[in-house]
């Protein structure tokens, strides 16, 4: 089951301690006006992704604090999984849910660390490099 977590008291948020990419970000950052956590859950979380909605493409995590009135871009800024293949399934289901719940969203971009693991993951899952920044890379998923 796919869950969009917008409530800071949701017990799934306890799993953010396992985030290998941005462990320093507290749950209060991840669940805010334009940010939420998406989780693929069976008996326990299988994969988790954090999403921020904007009308621009950020170059750094601090950019995610900026407010947006009419978001056009979903930014995936961290993802991890507990089950092989669950991250890919989570991304696909999250994109479908965002498209349904937020009709103004027409772009799907990551704010990824500059690592080989991130590059391989995103390119394997159909993304292309949109822009390389000082400390991050934006990958874009072209969704039709």
What residues does each domain of the chain span? 2-141
Strand partners, 37: 5, 50
Q: Superfamily assignment of 2-141 in CATH? A: Malonyl-CoA decarboxylase, catalytic domain (3.40.630.150)
Which residues lie closer than 8 Å to 144 by C-beta, 6 or more apart? none
- C-beta of residue 41 within 8 angstroms of C-beta of residue 74: no
- Mean confidence (pLDDT) of the chain: 95
* Distance (Å, whole) CA 98 – CA 95: 5
* Distance (Å, whole) CA 54 – CA 72: 6
- C-beta of residue 16 within 8 angstroms of C-beta of residue 51: no
Q: What is the pLDDT of residues 106-124, one digit of tens each?
A: 999 999 999 999 999 889 8
Confidence (pTM): 0.94
pLDDT band at 144 (very low <50, low <70, confident <90, very high): low
């Amino acid at each position: 089951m796919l869950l969009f977590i917008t409530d800071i008291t949701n017990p799934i948020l306890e799993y953010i301690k396992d985030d290998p990419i941005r462990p320093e970000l507290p749950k209060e950052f991840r669940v805010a006006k334009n940010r939420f956590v998406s989780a693929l859950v069976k008996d326990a979380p299988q994969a988790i992704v954090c999403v921020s909605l904007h009308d621009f493409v950020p170059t750094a995590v601090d950019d995610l604090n900026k407010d947006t009135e009419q978001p056009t871009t979903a930014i995936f800024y961290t993802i991890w999984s507990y089950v092989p293949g669950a991250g890919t399934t989570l991304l696909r289901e999250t994109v479908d849910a965002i498209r349904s719940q937020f009709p103004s969203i027409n772009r799907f971009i990551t704010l990824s660390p500059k690592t080989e693991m991130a590059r391989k993951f995103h390119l394997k899952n159909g993304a292309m490099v949109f822009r390389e920044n000082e400390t991050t890379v934006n990958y874009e998923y072209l969704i039709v």
